[in-house]
Chains A and B, each alone.
Chain A
């Protein structure tokens, strides 16, 4: 009964992270990219929790709270940027926002 299933969770986290990474690299839409980013963060969260349970202390869970707090802040700032981007360029494609490159 004491069988450890944490490996499956880590595997899940890995899959989610990969989806997030590939999505972030492949997709141009800023909102999608943003979602992918969240996916990666949450993948990390899953790994944290799973491994925390396996190790048997609460360090991982505590880290998850931080990650969630950062993700929330990031979502607030990130979405604001996307809105500002849309207002200025009437697009949410990140590839169109390259003003800073001469």
Chain B
């Protein structure tokens, strides 16, 4: 471990930027965007500097050894010594033996995440300058965006689970603020609230995992935990419980079944937000968490089985819903959910590096797709329905081209980036039985389903591309190409989506991550022919997509008329929102009202006021004896005397 000053600066810039942006925004709204972008860029530069330091620390020597081993059957993980840069800021709190430091740690995994976050973050900041140019409250927007970057950096830089959790909740907050950015529309604000609350459900599970760790291991620091887990005597049930709690947390943040419902609604936010938060960075936090806690998940094959089950299910369900959506952003939202499922499949198979790899490539092409959709929406005067688009390739060549590249990338066609990560996922799944007996049983089924999901993926993105950019224009606006601040990020991201696969070819991504997480066998590169063969699901999906939405538009229509119930169910998002509403939200609401009106006001207050009423009534009754009539008092007195005398004699 080595201390690093530049590391501490990385999250500082966006934080200062968030405050500064708001201040600057008061005088010049246009400047605010540039300040925020500058802060983000500085953060990116410092990440690069820190990255260089880390490379120096990891050392050219060990790097080359590992690279040499890449061609043999070398276990990447074993030869590596864990090295990281640290920036301990201060002790957050300490109670007895249990203390939590505010500590940043920068290792090879963090480096990757940081580069993605700040890199794509900067691009999206730049893009937002154009996209939000006409919005009245854009200083607020950029301030939130910087704040998000800060939180996200805390999340990935945190050296222990609690700092990670700070970022984890922080990104949730920023997501809430940004989804509800146009808060005059109560539905948007409601979507923000929904996102926050659903995330909170996951967070609660996350907290429970933390409590279990504190109770049984007494620390939340990753390095200490890793050491503690290496020869732990803790029962598997306990470990599985912890792992599953973390996974529930991850399902909240990374929109997996059953907590994925917030992500499609989150599209209420401005499109750059969807690109940055709800595609490239925040939603991948769950994947990052799983990779970060690999030492825990590796010990719990049963939990991994559940992870894979959920992930596969999410991938296929979300992909099928995406098939029929007409809102361009909704397609991409469900696509994100589905792709996150792919990442969790990899993580669940123990191939954490593949998950991270797909995270990175997905960040490239999905951010590009979202920004492209934003560009289209911007051009069509905030029209999001693809039925009102079409033929935009001619008027928006840059947007169309970049969108097309990303479409091919997400479809998983060689040699674009998506192919490499997706291929590794399928491969990891088909070999998962070797290390995890639970998974071995279902290996074939899972592989089949995930391949189907891959075909669907290729199909629905092609569909969205075709409906938006091909054919002839069906809307009523006057679309135009977006300004240069929007096009530059698109082009950069498209290039990354195009060449992202190189990460695993020329630069040994796998080995780099191997410094932090186990990477298993290093696969030797395959021939181009085999690669093209392996991208068959992509080709199939793209082919059918093009066929159905350009040449043979009658086929999907015919399908829709023959299977109306299926279309309805998919359009209605399988009625999961309605189900949750009926089963969870409304009963709880009813219960809340019942507790208030029934229990609180009737039972508890009833008892209280009842006691008061009893005193009142008994007073009223006794009061009747005081008639105000002298004669009655005299009679009572007489009767009392007689009684006393009688009593005296009776005794």
Q: Do chains A and B make direct contact within the complex (CB under 8 angstroms)?
A: yes
Q: Give A residues with C-beta under 8 Å from B.
A: 21, 24-28, 30, 33, 94-95, 97-98, 100-101
As a 0/1 sequence over residues 606 to 642 of chain B, the CB contacts with chain A under 8 angstroms (1 = contact) are 0000000000000000000011111100110010000
Identity of the chain A residue whose Cβ is nearest the Cβ of B629 in the assembled complex: A95
**A100 to chain B: which residues have CB within 8 Å?**
628
By CB atoms of chain A within 10 A, which of B627, B634, B638 has the most?
A: B634
Identity of the chain B residue whose Cβ is nearest the Cβ of A95 in the assembled complex: B629
**A94 to chain B: which residues have CB within 8 Å?**
629-631
Selected from B626, B634, B635, B638, the residue in CB contact (under 8 A) with A101 is: B626
Q: Is B631 a contact of A101 with CB atoms below 8 Å?
A: no
Q: Is B631 a contact of A26 with CB atoms below 8 Å?
A: yes
A80 to chain B, nearest CB (A): 16
**A33 to chain B: which residues have CB within 8 Å?**
630-631
Q: Is A25 a contact of B628 with CB atoms below 8 Å?
A: no
Selected from B626, B631, B634, the residue in CB contact (under 8 A) with A95 is: B631
Q: Give B residues with C-beta under 8 Å from A.
A: 626-631, 634-635, 638
Identity of the chain B residue whose Cβ is nearest the Cβ of A21 in the assembled complex: B638
Q: Is B638 a contact of A95 with CB atoms below 8 Å?
A: no
**A24 to chain B: which residues have CB within 8 Å?**
631, 634
A-B contact number at CB 8 A: 28
**A98 to chain B: which residues have CB within 8 Å?**
627-629
Interface CB pairs A-B, < 8 A, 26: A21-B634, A21-B638, A24-B631, A24-B634, A25-B631, A25-B634, A25-B635, A25-B638, A26-B631, A27-B631, A28-B631, A30-B630, A33-B630, A33-B631, A94-B629, A94-B630, A94-B631, A95-B629, A95-B630, A95-B631, A97-B628, A98-B627, A98-B629, A100-B628, A101-B626, A101-B628
Known: A21-B638, A25-B635. A101 touches B630 (CB 8 A): no
**B630 to chain A: which residues have CB within 8 Å?**
30, 33, 94-95
**B627 to chain A: which residues have CB within 8 Å?**
98, 101
**A21 to chain B: which residues have CB within 8 Å?**
634, 638
Q: How far is the CA of A98 from the CA of B627 in the complex (A)?
A: 8
**B638 to chain A: which residues have CB within 8 Å?**
21, 25
**B631 to chain A: which residues have CB within 8 Å?**
24-28, 33, 94-95
**B635 to chain A: which residues have CB within 8 Å?**
25
A96 to chain B, nearest CB (A): 10
Q: How far is the CA of A85 from the CA of B39 in the complex (A)?
A: 94
20 more CB-based (< 8 A) A-B contacts, given A24-B631, A95-B630, A97-B628: A21-B634, A21-B638, A25-B631, A25-B634, A25-B635, A26-B631, A27-B631, A28-B631, A30-B630, A33-B631, A94-B630, A94-B631, A95-B629, A95-B631, A98-B627, A98-B629, A100-B628, A101-B626, A101-B627, A101-B628
Q: How far is the CA of A98 from the CA of B634 in the complex (A)?
A: 15
Identity of the chain B residue whose Cβ is nearest the Cβ of A22 in the assembled complex: B638
**B629 to chain A: which residues have CB within 8 Å?**
94-95, 98
Q: How far is the CA of A41 from the CA of B628 in the complex (A)?
A: 24
A19 to chain B, nearest CB (A): 13
A33 to chain B, nearest CB (A): 7
Q: How far is the CA of A100 from the CA of B630 in the complex (A)?
A: 12
Q: How far is the CA of A42 from the CA of B629 in the complex (A)?
A: 24
Q: How far is the CA of A58 from the CA of B627 in the complex (A)?
A: 42
**A26 to chain B: which residues have CB within 8 Å?**
631
Q: How far is the CA of A30 from the CA of B634 in the complex (A)?
A: 13
List the 10 closest A-B pairs by CB distance, nearest first: A98-B628, A101-B628, A94-B630, A25-B635, A25-B631, A25-B634, A24-B634, A95-B629, A21-B638, A101-B626
**A27 to chain B: which residues have CB within 8 Å?**
631
Identity of the chain B residue whose Cβ is nearest the Cβ of A102 in the assembled complex: B623
Identity of the chain B residue whose Cβ is nearest the Cβ of A26 in the assembled complex: B631
**B634 to chain A: which residues have CB within 8 Å?**
21, 24-25
A66 to chain B, nearest CB (A): 20
Q: How far is the CA of A33 from the CA of B634 in the complex (A)?
A: 10
Q: How far is the CA of A30 from the CA of B638 in the complex (A)?
A: 18
Q: How far is the CA of A21 from the CA of B638 in the complex (A)?
A: 8
**A101 to chain B: which residues have CB within 8 Å?**
626-628
B641 to chain A, nearest CB (A): 10
Q: How far is the CA of A24 from the CA of B629 in the complex (A)?
A: 12
Q: How far is the CA of A45 from the CA of B629 in the complex (A)?
A: 28
Identity of the chain A residue whose Cβ is nearest the Cβ of B636 in the assembled complex: A25
Q: How far is the CA of A97 from the CA of B629 in the complex (A)?
A: 8
Identity of the chain B residue whose Cβ is nearest the Cβ of A33 in the assembled complex: B630
Q: How far is the CA of A24 from the CA of B635 in the complex (A)?
A: 9
B160 to chain A, nearest CB (A): 72
Q: How far is the CA of A25 from the CA of B635 in the complex (A)?
A: 6
Identity of the chain B residue whose Cβ is nearest the Cβ of A37 in the assembled complex: B634
By CB atoms of chain B within 10 A, which of A25, A33, A95, A100 has the most?
A: A25
A28 to chain B, nearest CB (A): 7
Identity of the chain A residue whose Cβ is nearest the Cβ of B641 in the assembled complex: A21
A5 to chain B, nearest CB (A): 26
**A30 to chain B: which residues have CB within 8 Å?**
630
A82 to chain B, nearest CB (A): 12
Identity of the chain A residue whose Cβ is nearest the Cβ of B628 in the assembled complex: A98
Q: How far is the CA of A43 from the CA of B638 in the complex (A)?
A: 16
B405 to chain A, nearest CB (A): 91
**A28 to chain B: which residues have CB within 8 Å?**
631
Q: How far is the CA of A21 from the CA of B642 in the complex (A)?
A: 12
By CB atoms of chain A within 10 A, which of B626, B627, B631, B635 has the most?
A: B631
**A97 to chain B: which residues have CB within 8 Å?**
628
